[in-house]
């Protein structure tokens, strides 16, 4: 990656974080958005995170329907799939505060 590509990547990251900051001005309780900015997550990392949550929500519903009561393997998969600079407990608590994927994160919170 050359210097110009690196600068463009940083500009894109700043623009993405600026959009989130504007939303935070309107609603300061958007804890996950704060976490995105604090941990300097890229838009792609956040998109991947939401896709992971969609997938895991479906898996959790299927497993509950099949009678599962322990979801530690799901928790482990979630933890292993997170970006390196994002901790499991921070992500779960921020998402719960922001009311994102409540069903999923209420269950995963039990394993923190």
pLDDT tier for residue 89 given thresholds of 50, 70 and 90: very high
At which residue do the structure tokens 């300061």 appear? 28
pLDDT at 27: 96
Q: What is the DSSP letter of 2?
A: -
Tokens (6 digits) for 87: 């901790």
Mean pLDDT of 76-101: 96
- What superfamily in CATH does domain 3-109 come from? YhaI-like (1.10.3750.10)
pLDDT score of 11 more than 70: yes
pLDDT digits (tens, 9 = 90+) for 30-82: 999 999 999 999 999 999 999 999 999 999 999 999 999 899 999 999 999 99
Mean pLDDT of 16-21: 98
Complete DSSP assignment for 54-75: HHHHHHHHHHHHTT----HHHH
pLDDT score of 1 more than 90: no
Averaged pLDDT of the chain: 96
Locate all alpha helices (DSSP H) within the chain, ordered by sequence: 3-26, 31-38, 43-65, 72-81, 88-97, 102-109
């Amino acid at each position: 990656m050359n210097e110009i590509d690196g600068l463009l990547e940083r500009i894109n990251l700043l623009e993405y974080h600026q959009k989130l900051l504007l939303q935070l001005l309107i609603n300061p309780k958007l804890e996950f958005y704060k976490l995105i900015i604090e941990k300097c997550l890229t838009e792609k990392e956040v998109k991947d995170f939401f896709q992971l949550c969609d997938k895991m929500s479906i898996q959790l519903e299927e497993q509950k329907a099949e009678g599962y009561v322990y979801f530690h393997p799901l928790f482990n998969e979630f933890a292993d799939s997170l970006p390196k600079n994002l901790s499991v407990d921070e992500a779960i608590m921020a998402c719960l505060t922001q009311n994102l994927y409540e069903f999923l994160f209420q269950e995963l919170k039990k394993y923190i």
